[in-house]
Each structure stands twice: as C-alpha cells, then as structure tokens.
Amino acid sequence: MTSFFQRIENRAVSANTLLCIGIDPHPNRPEGASAAAAQDFALNLIAKTADYALMYKPNSAFFERFGPEGIAALKAVIAAVPDEIPVLLDAKRGDIASTAAAYADSAFNMLGADAITLSPYLGSDSVAPFVSEAEKGAFVLCKTSNPSSGDIQDIALDEMGTPLYVHMAHTISHWSEHDNVGLVVGATYPRALGYCRDVAPSLWFLAPGIGAQGGDLKEALTAGLRADGLGMLISASRAIGNAEDPGQAAKDLRDEINVVRATIEVGEIPEHEHGGRVGLEDIAVALYESECVRFGSFTLKSGIQSPIYIDMRRLVSFPEHLETVAIALDDLLQSIEFDRVAALPYAALPIGTAVSLVGNHPMVYIRKEQKTYGTKAPIEGLYEEGETVVILDDLITDGGSKYETIAKFTDLGLKVTDVVVLVDREMGAGPKLEAQGFALHSAANITDLLPMWLQMGAIDDAQYAEVLAFLKG
C-alpha cells in the first residue's frame, strides 16, 4: 500500500505544487457565523483552488465550535476534497493509549482525514496510534510559527546551546517507521528550518507562517527544502481563503513557490532570519510588551494625527526586550565591515550600548552639543582617523536626519558606508541613502511587524487597515 508521504510526493510532482491550503472559517468573519456558512466557504474554496493544492488543512476548532452541525460540516468538507489530494486535519491532538486511539479513530475513520497535526509533549506514545497504518500520516509540532514558541521550544539543552526543537526534530525523525511522520516547522524561522533539515534530511515539513505572519518565502524554501526540491508544504490560509479570487491567489502563490524553487540553492541555513538569532516575531513582541509601539490616536510633532506611535526610549526599562533588539541588530552587523558602532543620541544610545555588549563592538557617539570645556570632544569614545563607523539608530523615516550626523563623522576623518536601524518606517530612506552611497540595513520593516501585532491581538483588523493606510499615506 502507498505510504502517506509517497502519496504526498506523487501529488507534488503531478500537480507541480508544494501548496497546502488551510481551511479556516474564522469566527470574526462571515464564513464563521454558522456551520452552514463554514461549510459553504470551504466547499467554494476547494472548488476554486483544487488545481493548485498539494494538500488541504481544515482547522478542526473552527468547525467543532458549532457542535454536531459543525462536525457534520467538517466531515462533508473533507469528503468534498478530490481523492488525489490528501487532507490534513489541523487538530493538534496530544494524548496516549486508548484516548489517542480514539482520537485517531475520529480523525481517520469518522471524519475521513488522511493525516493529523499532533503535539509530541507526551512522547512517542502520543504519536504511535496515529501512524500505525502506513497510508495515514501525522505532522508533529517541532518549531511552531507563533511569536512565543521560543518560550519552550528554544530552551538550550547543552553547553553548545542546542535548542529543544532540534532535539525534537532528531527524535521525531525516528518515529517514522512507515514513512508517515513529518514535522511542523514555521516558515517564520528559516534558521530553525535549516537546523531541522540538517537532523531530519528526509522528512516532510509543514511550514506555516508565509503571508499574514510575515515569513519570507525565499528564506524558508532555501533553508527547508530537501536536495530533491521537495519535502516542504508551504501553508497558507487567510491569504487565499479571504482573497477576492481564491483560485487566482492560490495559483499566484503556487507559481511564486515554483519560481523560488527554480532559482535557489537549497539546504543553506540563512545567516540572518530578519536578524538570525532573533525573528520578526521576537522584535514584534519586544516592542509591544515594552509599549514602544502603541495604537490609538496620537498627535505627532508635525501636528498630524497618527493611529500608531513609536517611542524606543522605553526599552531601557525592559532589559529582556532591550537584549532582544540588541541581538537582532548585532546579527545585521555580522555582514558589515566596520571598526566601531556609532549610536545616535538619544534613543539609540542605550540600544547601541546593548549592541556593544552583545557583540563586543567598540562604540562611539556624537554629542548633540559639543563641549566648551575640557577636551571639547565632539565625539565620545576612542577612535582613530580613517576608521570606519557604522551608524546605528532606532528608527528611520526618510533618512534626512542621518545625513547631518554622517557629515559630522566624515568631517572628523571617519568613514561611513552603512546605516543600521531597528525599524524602517518605509518612507523612502533606503533609496535616498543608496543614492548618496550608503547602505541601509533594518532588523524589521514596519509593514512586516504589523501582521505580527495583528496575530498577537495587539490590534484588530480595523486598526491594522487604519495603520497600513496611514503608513502608505
């Protein structure tokens, strides 16, 4: 009998697709208003996207919430998927013995799914009942795409700093006796994808996080694909299901995946995943929890009313979050040749100090007002003429304020080639700096952080749209 992942590979090759389409009739949208609405939404989605799907992934919770009617709708949705396309029930079960066996019976025999997502916290006993038959499969949580996944999954297990998720990937790879166990590894963490691929070279990965969660498709595929160009299921839900034309959205993403597959060298672990050791989600959490970013109605210095306000000075009161952004910036610095970090007053001074400590980088800073006594030094810190400094700041808008600072350093015989910032507000600074011969490096773009804050519940859909419209101004 054909194993589950052999069936996956057959579909991937015949349809030339790695696209997994999530079926998520969200409670806050019209399709989540009733079991009937959820079923209609799902059936329409399947009808319009079947040509491009490697697999469908209905979210069990969004149907179960309606009780018996929801279960009946979920069963009807699974039955409507064409036979050649496997169905993965997104239920994240995690129990043992007869309870796990009952969950497996429900998923596979009652509902008709081909595979299921599982939690491995109880060990192999919690997975075995689901994978005893070769034609049924399981994707086991390993490094999930959510911002707080590192609370547990990144715990270092040894002096080398090996994270728990790497141990899990290695361990779970030995649970696949019938070629029917895969891993869930978020596309939001391409470095984790690379590490997991190293220890589980043959397994299939389900990679959520592209689209609304901000994962980078090229980085994810580069790190996670197997040498044969297979082995990854790129999962997308809202980006397709909520599109005006789901069929076109599915085709576009399928095609984009295939273009990237054809142009990359697979198997490389990215040196930086929006900051390497620190992901976009980590930065989003740090800025939100420290209230460096706030949402509402704020009067800016210009008098303009803004739905978003950013003040990085608050980071000094949150050492953990200050360290997070320092690590993100230090990762950017690894690809730049320089002698000293030049932090700009005032918000970037504590950030620059933290970066200096994290990366052991000598730091200098320009004085806003030159001293009229003592050494009358315009720059604090040691430096020698001819050295290269990298400008470090918290934010950049259009880049205008950076030129004056750069001029002060160059007037003193220092070289400046690069500007590094924590957040780029995406108001044209990059091209302007490039035109003057400077390269801009940012740990995060504001429009990449917004989906993270939406996912975290920091803002709702209306605020997200309002802020995005304001930024695009």
Is residue 399 within 8 A of residue 440, CB to CB? The reply is yes
Name, in order, each residue with C-beta under 8 angstroms of 445's C-beta and a sequence gap of 6 or more. 423, 424, 426
In order of their start, the domains of the chain are 4-263 (3.20.20.70), 280-472 (3.40.50.2020)
Gyration radius of the chain's alpha carbons? 25
Say what the pLDDT of residue 274 is: 35
Tell me the whole-structure pTM to 2 decimals: 0.61
Ramachandran angles phi, psi of 33, nearest 5°: -80, -25
Question: Catalytic: which of 48, 57, 92, 408?
Answer: 92
161 Rama class: left (phi>0) / alpha (psi -120 to 50) / beta: left
Q: Note every long-range contact of 446-452, with CB atoms under 8 Å and residues 24 or more positions apart, other chains counting.
A: 446/471, 447/471, 448/214, 448/274, 448/280, 449/214, 449/280, 449/283, 449/284, 449/287, 449/293, 449/423, 451/211, 451/212, 451/213, 451/214, 452/147, 452/213, 452/214, 452/280, 452/281, 452/284, 452/285
Annotation says 415 is catalytic: no
Q: Which residues pair with 415 in a beta bridge?
A: 388
For residues 328 and 275, is the Cβ–Cβ distance under 8 A?
Answer: yes
Q: How far is CA 149 from CA 36, 255, 279, 282, 322, in A?
A: 34, 30, 11, 10, 19
Q: Give dist(CA 321, CA 172) in Å, integer.
A: 32
Alpha carbon dihedral 247, 249, 252, 255, in 10-degree steps, equals -70
Contacts of 328 (CB under 8 A, 6+ apart): 274, 275, 277, 278, 282, 283, 422, 443, 444
| DSSP secondary structure letter of residue 145 | S
Amino acid at 287: L
Contacts for 7 with CB less than 8 Å, ≥ 6 apart? 86, 114, 135
Concatenated DSSP letters of 160-186: T--BHHHHHHHHHGGG-TTS-EEEEE-
User: At a CB cut-off of 8 Å and minimum separation 6, what does 232 contact?
Assistant: 18, 204, 205, 207, 220, 221, 224, 225, 226
CA–CA dist 328, 412 (Å, integer):
29
> Coil, strand, or helix at residue 89?
strand
Mean pLDDT per 10-residue section of the chain, whose length is 473 residues: 89 96 94 96 98 98 97 98 97 96 97 98 95 96 90 84 90 89 94 90 93 80 91 94 95 95 71 51 89 90 84 93 91 88 90 92 81 64 93 86 84 92 87 88 88 84 87 74
The single-letter code of the amino acid at 455 is Q
At 372-414, the pLDDT tens digits run: 555 566 788 999 999 999 999 999 887 777 887 888 899 889 9
Distance of alpha carbon 224 from alpha carbon 42, whole angstroms: 29
Spell out the residues 6+ positions from residue 416 whose beta carbon is closer than 8 angstroms to its own: 342, 388, 389, 390, 391, 406, 409, 410, 438
Order of strands across the sheet with 88-93?
A: 55-58, 19-23, 232-236, 205-207, 181-185, 137-143, 115-118, 88-93
| Closest of 439, 403, 442, 394 to residue 418, by C-alpha | 439
Amino acid at 362: P
Number of H helices, E strands in the chain: 18, 16
- State the Cα torsion 215-218-224-229 to the nearest 10°: 140
Integer Cα distance of 168 and 115 in angstroms: 20
End-to-end, the C-alpha distance of the chain in Å comes to 58
- CB burial readout 212-244, b (16+ within 10 A) else e: bbbbbbbbbbbbbbbeebbbbbbbbbebbbbbe
How confident is the model at residue 366, as a pLDDT? 83
DSSP H or E run through 345: none
